[in-house]
Amino acid sequence: MTVVTTRPETLTPGTWTIDASHSEAAFSVRHAGISRVRGTVAITEGTIVVTDDLAGSTVTVSLDPATIDTRDAGRDGHLKSADFFDVESHPTWSFTSTAIRTDGEDHVIQGDLTIHGQTRPVELATEFNGAAVDPFGNARVGFSATTTISRKDFGLTWNAALETGGVLVSDKVTISLEVSAIKAV
C-alpha cells in the first residue's frame, strides 16, 4: 500500500532557502519549579526541498548556540559554558529530517536533532502558514513547529537542588520554530 502525504496546494515543489532574518528558534524551560525562562538561538542556514508527495520532502537546518539569548547576559554565559552547551566544543546544532507525514490539516516532521554533540530523534508538530510573494518578488512560505525534548537526552545534566525541594532547571524543554523560506530560482 502506498501512502501519499498530501502537500498543501500553495506549497509548490522545489528548493526553499530558510530566511534566517525572518525565522526564529525559541525555547522555554521551567525555572525553580515556578516560572518559565524563554530564550532564542539563531538559525544560521537551512534548506527545505519540497516534492510532489510531501513524504519525499526534506528539511535541513543549522543553528548557532553561541547566539543564545535569554535577556540575561549572566545566564546566557552560563548556558554557553561547559556546564550546559559548551559552545566552544559544540559550535553547531543541527536538524535533518528523516520522514514527513500528514496529521489532519497539519504535518509531523520526524528527524534527527543534534545538540551538544548528541543526536536524538524528535518529532516536530508542524503547521503550514501559507505562501506569498513579498514586495521584492520572492516567493515565500511560512511554517510554525513545536516539539518537547528531555535535555538529559542531549547530555545536559547540570542542575542545582532547591531548599524547598525540586531542582533549579527542569528536564523538559519546549522548542518552538517560526520559519520563513524563499524559493530558490
Amino acid 154: pLDDT: 86
Amino acid 113: pLDDT: 96
- In which domain, by residue range, is 40 found? 14-183
Amino acid 2: pLDDT: 46
Question: Does a structural domain hold residue 64?
Answer: yes
Contact 143, 108 (CB under 8 A): no
| Residue range 161-176, pLDDT digits in tens | 767 776 567 778 899 9
Per-residue pLDDT of the chain (185 residues; tens, 9 = 90+): 444 567 787 889 999 999 999 999 999 987 766 778 899 999 999 999 999 888 899 999 999 999 999 999 998 999 999 988 899 999 999 999 999 998 777 899 999 999 999 999 999 999 999 999 999 999 999 999 999 998 888 887 766 676 777 656 777 889 999 999 999 97
Partners of 13 in the beta sheet? Answer: none
Question: Does a structural domain hold residue 8?
Answer: no
Question: Does a structural domain hold residue 1?
Answer: no
Amino acid 37: pLDDT: 87
Question: Does a structural domain hold residue 75?
Answer: yes
- The CATH number for 79's domain is 2.40.128.110
Say what the pTM is: 0.88
User: Structurally, how many domains does the chain consist of?
Assistant: 1
Question: Does a structural domain hold residue 18?
Answer: yes
Partners of 139 in the beta sheet? Answer: 133
Q: Which long-range contacts (CB under 8 A, 24 or more apart) does 105-108 make?
A: 107/5, 107/54
Angle at alpha carbon of residue 21, lines to 141 and 62, rounded to 5°? 85
Question: Does a structural domain hold residue 5?
Answer: no
Question: Does a structural domain hold residue 138?
Answer: yes
Question: Does a structural domain hold residue 4?
Answer: no
Three-state secondary structure of 8-53: CCCCCCEEEEECHHHCEEEEEEEECCCEEEEEEEEEEEEEEEECCC
Are β-strands 14-18 and 118-133 bridged in parallel, bridged antiparallel, or unpaired?
unpaired
